Amino acid sequence: MAQAKINAKINDASKGKFTRTLSMADRSGRLLENLDQIEMRVEALREEATAMEQERECLIELIQSIQHSQEMRSICDGEREELSLTASRLLGRTLTVNISVDTIRNDQQEDALKKAMAIIDEIAGKVLEDMEGAKKRLQALHAACVTEAPPVPVDQKFQSVVISCALEDQKKIKRRLETLIRNMDNAEKTIKIMDNQKVDHSIANGK
């Protein structure tokens, strides 16, 4: 009888231990599932914030292109002043939106990003001295950032630097180069328009 009671207690204890183990496994599984769902939402949040950051950059670029456009120069003073004030107001409101998506980098990626940006800054600083030469160099840098075969020579040195950058930084470097090249294209168009206007004016005056 005493032995039966002991066996019953052992069985009860074993059942309790087994039940707790299953319960812990269930809890662990649920927590893991929750974390997986949270991870998906975190990545979606970063993607949305990055998209908003790009939209902010795009809006700033559009407003500034209008401010310095040939169309703005060709209208009367009163209309130009009114439109300039509107553009400045929109630019100011856009600049109040601050979005920051930090990229996690190791030391090698941090150094690579600094090198890449220093190369771009150096070329951008020489745009006024030699626009055509600077544009060709920027195009070579951009060619190093694309996967498809580019129509221009690739800067192999810059490509090795970009490859060492974090993936998110590679995308940002590519976007910055695209913005610089696009701005230079717009500047070249404006210069050509102004040159043509000078020629037309000279012809009209018989010079």
What's the one-letter identity of residue 114? Answer: K
88 has pLDDT over 60: yes
Q: pLDDT class for 106, splitting at 50, 70, 90? A: very high
**Per-residue confidence (pLDDT) for residue 72, from 0 to 100:** 85
Q: What is the largest CA-CA distance in the chain?
A: 129
Q: What is the mean pLDDT of residues 153-182?
A: 93
DSSP conformation letters of 20-38: HHHHHHHHHHHHHHHHHHH
pLDDT > 70: percent of the chain: 80
Please state, as a whole number, how many other Cβ atoms lie within 10 Å of the Cβ of residue 174: 16
How far apart (Å, rounded) are the C-alpha atoms in residues 164 and 124?
22
Q: Tell me which residue of 186, 181, 179 sits closest to 68, measured CA to CA.
A: 186
Q: What is the mean pLDDT of residues 70-91?
A: 90
pTM above the 0.95 mark? Answer: no
Tokens (6 digits) for 69: 């456009």
**Per-residue confidence (pLDDT) for residue 5, from 0 to 100:** 53
**Per-residue confidence (pLDDT) for residue 55, from 0 to 100:** 92
**Per-residue confidence (pLDDT) for residue 199, from 0 to 100:** 46
What mean pLDDT value characterizes the chain? 83
7 has pLDDT over 80: no
126 has pLDDT over 90: no
Q: pLDDT class for 81, splitting at 50, 70, 90? A: very high
Q: What is the mean pLDDT of residues 29-38?
A: 94
